[in-house]
Amino acid sequence: MIMPYAKPQQDRIQRLRAFCLEHKRMPAYSEMLNLFGYRSKNAVYRFMQKLEAAGYVRRAAPRKFAPTGRLTGSIRLLGTVQAGFPSPAEEELVDVLSLDEFLVQRPEATYMLTVSGDSMIDAGIHPGDIVLVERGGLTRNGDIVVAQVDGEWTIKYFSKRGRIVRLEPANKAYQPIVPRHSLVIGGIVKAVIRKYR
Amino acid sequence: MIMPYAKPQQDRIQRLRAFCLEHKRMPAYSEMLNLFGYRSKNAVYRFMQKLEAAGYVRRAAPRKFAPTGRLTGSIRLLGTVQAGFPSPAEEELVDVLSLDEFLVQRPEATYMLTVSGDSMIDAGIHPGDIVLVERGGLTRNGDIVVAQVDGEWTIKYFSKRGRIVRLEPANKAYQPIVPRHSLVIGGIVKAVIRKYR
DNA sequence: CTTGCGAGTGAACGAACGTTCACTATAGTG
DNA sequence: CACTATAGTGAACGTTCGTTCACTCGCAAG
């Protein structure tokens, strides 16, 4: 074997990842003794230094570690379906990221809404889908927005030509809306999520 | 005012939430002094006891706290669009959850794939969408699966009648596939995510 | 006025923590 | 062989942590 110690290290990283995901915190060195199978805290100390160099953890403060997205990001991102699908045996680290960090830029301004109605179905937004809405961003033509027009909330494409704002559905059965009295942009749709089962 | 102390407490919870989201760890009591505006660690101690009683944090070990989903779940879930959209002024806590916890049941068995091809477009799965795939679950009729059939990977509806497995597209331009030689189920599609911008 | 309660201050304490030092064992290299 | 690097052990050290105790202040109820 070329790298006889790569396996145990990957295993320890996996254990640390599991611990962080389950307990939502870093284990103390004394807990890592059991977790990693060491009997000396110095071994833990040096292992954590390697993890820091490898980007799995970072120093949050003196004497304190915090996990990075590399460690606690829960989902592995692979290529496209046609590009191939690694076998469970390979199981190599491609990239790991957290859905929260992947989808949400400003958590304090982001909301989830369940969609009802089929006015955006041609854009692949079905009834029952969940949209991630971010308040307060800059609205541009072509954005999908949650808007209150003349007192009623809808999801539509945003389109502004000159001073005329049009809210366009993605369904030929509906007509574009031109606000008569009031228009409030509740937020921009940043993502659509459909959950099965 | 009936509850003169509700506001500062909500503000402190917000600060704690922000700290946990930013640093991915609990602050120490000494850090909470600045964070909460206290000058005594005892005040911090008693405040944390209230947070524990209120379900924002839990004891991970003696002398250690861990945040609950109530605290660090980043996204607020609201009702349907038509059901109304709370104004930014209200800003009341409806429910808070983490996208990771919401979408992923078994993180170690879940992968993300980017979709190419339009064979599932009538199911609202477009090219460029991201699918969350969970390995190893029990496949049932009607599930959307990632499958390797005769050497090639695709996404299709899973359908089994007797011993005959059919992989059905959601696009009339394509034909159902009946595996000739081999069929490998790579996983079940648990969610579809489309990200804008 | 007194009593009681909630909220905060400030000091003190023991335990646990992360870090460091000295040392051992094994394997690879020239 | 000697030399070096890697991985780990075990003990010790000073710091910081969470917790506890005693006390103060303001306010509302009896």
Q: Is B30 a catalytic residue?
A: no
CB B64 under 7 Å to nucleic chain D? yes
Q: How far is CA A58 from CA A89, A107, B27, B35, B109, in A?
A: 30, 22, 15, 21, 26
Which residue is closest, via its CA, to the C1' of C10?
B40
At B72, which CATH number? 1.10.10.10
Q: Which stretch of A33-37, A47-51, B51-55, B73-77 has the lowest confidence by average pLDDT?
A: B73-77
Residues B122 and B147 in one domain: yes
Q: How far apart are CA B31 and CA B53, in angstroms?
A: 21
> Is B151 part of a structural domain of the chain?
yes
> Average pLDDT, stretch B94-98?
61
- Asked whether the beta carbons of residue B72 and residue A26 sit closer than 8 angstroms, the reply is no
- Residue where a domain terminates, one of A76, A100, A124: A100
**Which entry of A41, A156, A160, A195 is annotated as an active-site residue?**
A156
- Residue A153 has a pLDDT of 79
Contact A159/B at CB under 8 A: no
> Average pLDDT, stretch B28-44?
94
- Residue A179 has a pLDDT of 86
- Asked whether the beta carbons of residue B78 and residue A112 sit closer than 8 angstroms, the reply is yes
Q: pLDDT-derived band of residue B152, with 50, 70 and 90 as boundaries?
A: confident
Residues B172 and B113 in one domain: yes
Domain count, chain A: 2
Contact B154/A at CB under 8 A: yes
> Is A57 part of a structural domain of the chain?
yes
Residues B131 and B183 in one domain: yes
Q: Which two tokens stand for residue A9?
A: 């290290």
Residues A71 and A141 in one domain: no
- Asked whether the beta carbons of residue B81 and residue A153 sit closer than 8 angstroms, the reply is yes
- Residue where a domain terminates, one of B75, B100, B125: B100
Residues 114..153 of B with a Cβ closer than 8 Å to A: which? 114-117, 121, 124-126, 129, 132, 135, 143-144, 146, 148, 152-153
**Cβ-Cβ contacts under 8 Å, B116 against chain A:** 80-83
Q: Is A156 a catalytic residue?
A: yes
Spatial distance from the CA of B6 to the C1' of C2 (Å)? 29
Which runs of E-coded beta strand occur in chain A?
A: 57-61, 64-67, 75-80, 96-97, 110-114, 130-134, 144-149, 152-161, 164-168, 183-195
Q: Which stretch of B101-105, B127-131, B132-136, B173-177 has the lowest confidence by average pLDDT?
A: B101-105
Residues B10 and B92 in one domain: yes
> Is A136 part of a structural domain of the chain?
yes
Residues B90 and B164 in one domain: no
Spatial distance from the CA of B18 to the C1' of D24 (Å)? 32
DSSP three-state, residue B48: helix
- Asked whether the beta carbons of residue B100 and residue A102 sit closer than 8 angstroms, the reply is no
Q: pLDDT-derived band of residue B71, with 50, 70 and 90 as boundaries?
A: confident
> Is A26 part of a structural domain of the chain?
yes
At A122, which CATH number? 2.10.109.10
Spatial distance from the CA of A90 to the C1' of D10 (Å)? 39
Residues A132 and A77 in one domain: no
**Cβ–Cβ under 8 Å, residues B23 and B16:** no
Spatial distance from the CA of B42 to the C1' of D23 (Å)? 13
Nearest CA to A195 out of A126, A136, A138 is that of A126
Out of A116, A193, A196, closest to residue B144 by CB? A196
> Is B128 part of a structural domain of the chain?
yes
> Average pLDDT, stretch B59-79?
76
- Residue where a domain terminates, one of A100, A128, A155: A100
- Residue A83 has a pLDDT of 36
- Residue A74 has a pLDDT of 55
Residues B44 and B123 in one domain: no
Range(s) of the domain holding residue B184: 107-193
Q: How far apart are CA A166 and CA A164, in angstroms?
A: 6
In sequence order, the 6+-apart residues with CB closer than 8 A to the CB of A79 are A94, B113, B114
Counting as low any pLDDT under 50, the low residues of chain A are 1-6, 79-94
Residues B11 and B96 in one domain: yes
Pick the more confident residue, A73 or B128.
B128
Residues B121 and B171 in one domain: yes
Residues B155 and B74 in one domain: no
> Is A10 part of a structural domain of the chain?
yes
> Is A1 part of a structural domain of the chain?
no
Residue A128: closest CA among chain B residues belongs to which residue?
Answer: B80
Q: How far apart are CA B17 and CA B69, in angstroms?
A: 10
Q: pLDDT-derived band of residue B81, with 50, 70 and 90 as boundaries?
A: very low
Residues B37 and B80 in one domain: yes
Residue B126: closest CA among chain A residues belongs to which residue?
Answer: A124
Pick the more confident residue, B49 or A97.
B49
The DSSP result for B161-172, as a single string, is ETTEEEEE-SST
For chain A, how long is the longest CA-to-CA vector? 74
> Is B1 part of a structural domain of the chain?
no
What number of C-beta contacts closer than 8 Å exist between A and B? Answer: 183
